Amino acid sequence: MADEIVPGTTPADVPAPEPVEPHAALRLVGGAGHVELRADATIEELYRANYEPSTPDVTLETDRVTVRYKLHRLLGRLSTTTETTSRFALSTRQPWDIAAPDGVTVLDADLAAVRILSVKIGHGAGTVKLRLGRPVGTVPIVIGGGSSEVIVFRPEGVMVRVSTQGDVVRVVVDGGRPIGPLSGSTSVEPPGYALSVDRYDITVSGGCGSLLVSAEP
């Protein structure tokens, strides 16, 4: 059977898929406990990690690291049977895509020395602290609902848009006047953000206690 031809189109009309930039990926699956991330330019391997008190299941496929934690449901919320503290040192030789779709209890990430493509934390995060370096392009930072506190530091001069969805008690951007309490959808975007090429796009959805976004030298 011949391929269907849509009038007015030719194979040249179909855009070629954009090439995928080589990168590393870290996936924390199953509801991580206390997680510490650091960039380390001295390590030869893709990453190093240690876990206390128990070691989760870890899979390494080329440059994709998947860490699976054991959990159970308690009163409708995800809860690890024995909360694990995980410490990761990430190579700086390539950019990283980081995700914890099932949330974390605490995330303390100093990623200023490594390029980040995205950070996505699922619903149920507790305290999230990120220190980011200079972005390339628009870099999404997405934090799911239920976070008690979210703190994001970025280099001075880097544009950032901050969007919230749901109930947020307090938002402070770059030392400005505290905003809140908020409900529904709210966006704080500085003049010049739309024209900026290298920038962060921060979204906190589903509710949050406190959100602080600040620049540092």
Q: Is residue 4 part of a domain?
A: no
Q: Please list the pLDDT of the chain residue by residue as tens digits (217 residues).
A: 444 444 444 445 555 555 567 899 999 998 788 999 999 999 999 999 999 998 999 999 999 999 999 864 343 444 544 578 999 999 999 999 999 999 899 999 999 999 999 999 998 778 999 999 999 999 999 998 788 899 999 999 999 999 998 888 999 999 888 888 888 888 999 999 999 999 999 999 888 899 999 999 8
Shared domain check, 113 and 46: yes
Kindly provide the b/e burial profile for residues 60-97, where b requires at least 16 CB atoms within 10 angstroms of the residue's own CB: eeebebbbbbebeeeeeebebeebbbbebbbbbeebbb
**Which of residues 71, 104, 122 is at a domain's end?**
122
Q: Give this prediction's pTM.
A: 0.85
Instruction: Give 22's DSSP letter.
Output: P
Shared domain check, 167 and 129: yes
- CB contact set of 143 (below 8 Å; sequence gap of 6+): 121, 125, 128, 150, 202, 203, 204, 205, 208
Count of structural domains, the chain: 2
Q: Is residue 1 part of a domain?
A: no
Shared domain check, 88 and 136: no
Collapsed DSSP state (helix, strand, coil) of residue 11: helix
Contact 141, 130 (CB under 8 A): yes
Domain that holds residue 85: 22-122
Instruction: Show the tokens assigned to 65.
Output: 């690291």
